[in-house]
Amino acid sequence: MLTALNVMMLVFLVVCAVVVARSNDLLSAVIMFAAYSLVMAIVWQQLEAPDLALTEAAMGAGVTTILLLVVISKTRRTEE
Amino acid sequence: MHDLVLQTVAKLIIPFIQLFGFYIIFFGHLSPGGGFAGGTIVASSFILYALAYDVQAGFKRMPRLASKWLESMGALLFVLVGFAGVAMGGSYLANHTGLLDLGEAGTLISGGFIPLLTLAVGVKVASTIISLLYHLLEEKTNV
């Protein structure tokens, strides 16, 4: 059961990373990156690294997303 | 930008975010987390306020001068606490010299000055992230 969950999360991480790299819409890329960070936090927890999980959830899903969103709102939304 | 739902929810949820952040900071020597994670959570509450209301309203809650001083004071507190170990006759950051009671492992008041160091890191990280995002938010768009 847990192994299936882990495999699902890892596949989701790979799909997220590819979508972030290939997306032309920067806003959707940032949102996918936030989803990536959140799932990565759960993966850290599954790897028994709760300290990293907490930091990843606060830093990756929270502050980095806001930082990138503010930058997008100051510049353009699409990539050339 | 005035969104009533966003502003009301932000006002409701910000105290809980800050309480959780300080919980992470003060229990840094006992449980996962610590200065960096807790400081980030505390900073995110201020960022939420500035985004939901206005950057100027955010400056009223956390003035630019205050975040500048807090940032420097956090780093300075860490360095000074480190030198306290030297002053007590140990090496830098020495914790066993008896300056603060080491207490019983597993209780909140334990670990000598490690909670102080965690608090210093938390204050430093929180004010750094706050001033970073405020600078970005108040910058004029020139594209």
Tell me the domain boundaries of chain B: 4-138
Quick check: A1 pLDDT over 80? Answer: no
Give the number of C-alpha atoms closer than 13 A to the C-alpha of residue B130, restricted to the C-beta side. Answer: 29
Determine, yes or no, domain membership for A48: yes
Stated as kind and residue range, the H or E segment containing B103 is: none
B15 or B62: which leads in pLDDT: B15
Contact of B36 with chain A, judged by CB distance below 8 Å, is answered with: yes
Predicted pLDDT at B141? 60
Bigger pLDDT: B88 vs B119: B119
Domain membership of residue A31 (yes or no) is yes
pLDDT tens, B37-78? 999 999 999 988 988 888 888 888 888 888 889 999 999 999
If you average pLDDT over every residue of chain B, what do you get? 86
* pLDDT(B98) > 70: no
Q: Confirm whether A52 is domain-assigned.
A: yes
Cβ neighbors of A21 (< 8 A, separation 6 or more) are: none
Averaged pLDDT for residues B99-128? 84
Whether the per-residue pLDDT at B20 is higher than 90: the answer is yes
A47 and chain B in contact, CB less than 8 A = no
pLDDT above 90 for B97: no
Structurally, chain A folds into a number of domains equal to: 1
Better-predicted residue by pLDDT, A79 or A7: A7
Model confidence at B132: pLDDT above 90: no
Does B142 have pLDDT greater than 60? no
Q: Each residue of A23-48: b (16+ CB within 10 Å) or e? A: beebeebbbbbbbbbbbbbebbbeee
Contact A67 B44 (CB under 8 A): no
Using CA atoms, how far residue B113 sits from A11, A68, A71, B77, B93, in Å, is 44, 36, 39, 11, 9
Whether residue B133 and residue A70 make contact (CB cut-off 8 A), yes or no, is yes
Bigger pLDDT: B20 or B138?
Answer: B20
In this prediction, what percent of chain B has a pLDDT beyond 90? 33
For the record, the structure tokens of B95 come out as 């914790």
Token readout for A14 is 């790979």
Contact (CB<8Å) A75/B143:
yes
Q: Is B45 on the interface with A (CB under 8 A)?
A: no
Instruction: Provide the pLDDT for residue A11.
Output: 95
Measured between beta carbons, the chain A residues lying within 8 angstroms of B44 are 58, 62-63, 66
Q: Cβ B137–A70 below 8 Å, yes or no?
A: yes
Residue A79 in any domain: the answer is no
Better pLDDT: B12 or B106: B12
Q: Looking at the predicted structure, is the pLDDT value of residue A15 above 70?
A: yes
pLDDT value, residue B1: 63
Residue with tokens 């449980």: B31
Contact residues on chain A for B33, CB-CB shorter than 8 A = 51, 54-55
Q: Indicate the average pLDDT of chain A.
A: 90
pLDDT in the model for residue B2: 75
A–B CB contacts, 8 A cutoff, strictly below: 47
What pLDDT shows up at residue A45?
A: 92
Question: Domain range spanning residue A70?
Answer: 2-74
pLDDT band at A19 (very low <50, low <70, confident <90, very high): very high
